[in-house]
A and B are shown apart, each in its own frame.
Chain A
Amino acid sequence: MATKPVVPPASALRWLGVITAPIALALGFLWAGGWLTPHRLTQTSLLDALRAVDGVHPGFRRNHAKGVCVTGWFEGNGNAAALSAASILRQGQRVPVVGRFALAGGMPFQADAPAKIRSMALSLMSPNGQEWRMGLNDIPVFPVRTPQEFHDLQWASRPDPATGKSDPMRLKAFRAGHPWLQEAAGRITHRSVSGGFADDTYRSLDSFLLVKENGEKTAVRWAMEPVQTAIAAGGNTDDHDYHFRDLIDDIHARPLQWRLLVTVAGGHDVIDDPSQVWAEDDRQIDAGTLTLTAVESEEGGPCTGITFDPLVLPPGVAPSGDPILQARSAAYMRSFSLRSGEKSPVPAITPSLTAAPGDAEGKKS
């Protein structure tokens, strides 16, 4: 019994048979993860491009870093319910909202200024656990139409280490290479600018699909249009944080309201390109009202522990084929996991700034 050889003699060919499958799989895995193709656009390279422009700020959002949390509710009026099964759009249902106002850009301590892009992010939470998250900007169109262009534009506008300013030649080269983005750049530069956060209009820019119970789809964009026409507080533009101070004063003075305006794509509108405007005469639906009643610092506030991923959508709303949406969902999750793993920083807008006038003293300690 002990005489027969336990292991038969093995040729090199047989050993090759042993290692072929594991090596092939390992190579495939490395390729799938992008490690063999360093020039592929990835979540990391997209965030690296943002960092090249804005610098390193641990614990902060990699974009729209300076902001405050707000809370309130949304109430649908049923006008858009014919186009979408989303329960949030039905008449008379009030759902709680957590939101965030911010300045675009990854610099958490940048000074407020009239022409800087402002944003409103919202999570509308329906009672069944479904959420509708959105990040809206106050520009008419997005400056680019693909994630690669976003990366390249960031990269072109990164500051020169010598001067600390972006190099106009690089930007010129980007523009020359992307003539189709010229119109969008012009619209953004020449947009009308509102006084502050409270009287600003915020737009989805990306397109989405409203989906009926029977599966029928309608391409839309939407905007939050202010109900209050002017801000209560008079902004002192010398103040480093005047936009945020005004917003805080405004919310403390009275609830702020916006109407959700849904724009239905017309026959000639380009759906999947956020750098293109839609026709002026598109059908618009006033779908409900957003009411914001409280403001809190990001330090301990309810908007810090989530990311306003635009692909967190309830049944009845679906992504369009817009490629920017996919990149946003991926990059927001990456930004969210990175910043959540870093030490919580002290934000520019602190709890003592957001405290109501009466209890400012109490919150300072």
Chain B
Amino acid sequence: MSRAKSFSLPSRVLHWLMAAMILIMLFIGVFMASTVGPNYDRLVALHRPLGIAILALALLRLANRLRSPPPPLPEELPPTMKIGAKASHLLLYALMIAMPLVGWGMMSAGGYPILLWGRSMLLPPILPHDPTLWAWLRSVHTVLAFLLFGLVLAHIGAAMFHGFIRRDGVLQSMIFTQKSAKG
């Protein structure tokens, strides 16, 4: 069986760092948006800079991907699966960039001062103050978050499918350094 060559080290570091950050963000997000408990303000204050960091890393990752393209998928993978893999990765990138932009944009439209870190570092608004837009973006933030979470679950399922069922080296290609080899 042919084995996929590995992702470059920067690609792998970015992938796993961002995977952890995005999962944490999704969990913090749904928890804080339901809670009225003692950690509400602290969680929102963590959610903002973490989200902005994801935006910065996603742009870096996009540039890195253009510079060092991913290894090809195994040849024997059915075309529909290949298309599915490509499309889902594209959508993951789109959401990694859209989620923080929507978060930042909705706070702008809601007329909130947008604290980045502590109480003294402010982000400038990126959209005009407009309550209708705020309400709409607040819903979009939820819908996209659920879409992202669903996609991440499917993505992890697919990674496990490669690792446990197909055993084609795709999972390893995101974990270890391995040379392109014939089976």
Contact = CB atoms under 8 A, between A and B. Distances in A.
A169 interface: no
A46 B36 contact: yes
Interface stretch (B48-56, B86-94, B113-121): B113-121
Interface stretch (B8-16, B27-35, B173-181): B27-35
A3 to B, nearest CB: 12
A128 B119 CA distance: 12
A173 interface: no
A147 interface: yes
A60 to B, nearest CB: 13
B164 A329 contact: no
Nearest to B139: A341
A129 interface: yes
B131 A304 contact: yes
Nearest to A317: B119
A337 B157 contact: no
B132 to A, nearest CB: 6
Interface string A305-323: 1110101111110110101
B122 A18 contact: no
A216 B152 CA distance: 44
B69 interface: no
Contacts, number: 138
A114 B167 CA distance: 76
Nearest to A307: B110
Contacts of B165: 7-8, 10, 14-15, 18
Given A18-B157, A21-B156, A330-B36, A305 B131 contact: yes
A336 B110 contact: yes
Contacts of B119: 130, 313-316, 318
Contacts of B138: 337, 341
B134 A34 contact: no
B156 A129 contact: no
A4 interface: yes
Nearest to A2: B76
A42 B134 contact: no
- Max chain A Cβ within 10 angstroms of own Cβ: one of B157, B163, B183: B157
B34 A329 contact: no
Nearest to A311: B41
B26 interface: yes
Contacts of B111: 305-306
B135 A337 contact: yes
B30 A4 contact: no
Interface in B102-116: 110-113
A260 B38 CA distance: 28
Nearest to B42: A326
A162 interface: no
Contact of A29 (B27, B118, B124, B161): B27
The interface centre, meaning the residue of A43, A321, A340 with most chain B CB atoms within 10 A of its CB, is A340
B79 interface: no
A30 to B, nearest CB: 9
A19 B163 CA distance: 12
Interface of A: 4, 6-8, 10, 14-15, 17-19, 21-22, 25-26, 28-29, 32-34, 40-44, 46, 128-131, 147, 304-307, 309, 311-316, 318-319, 321, 323, 325-327, 329-331, 336-338, 340-341
Given A41-B37, A340-B134, 16 more contacts: A8-B165, A15-B165, A18-B157, A18-B165, A22-B154, A29-B27, A29-B149, A40-B34, A304-B131, A326-B37, A326-B40, A327-B37, A329-B41, A336-B134, A337-B134, A340-B135
14 contacts: A7-B165, A25-B23, A26-B153, A28-B27, A32-B30, A33-B31, A33-B34, A44-B34, A130-B120, A131-B113, A147-B36, A307-B110, A312-B112, A336-B131
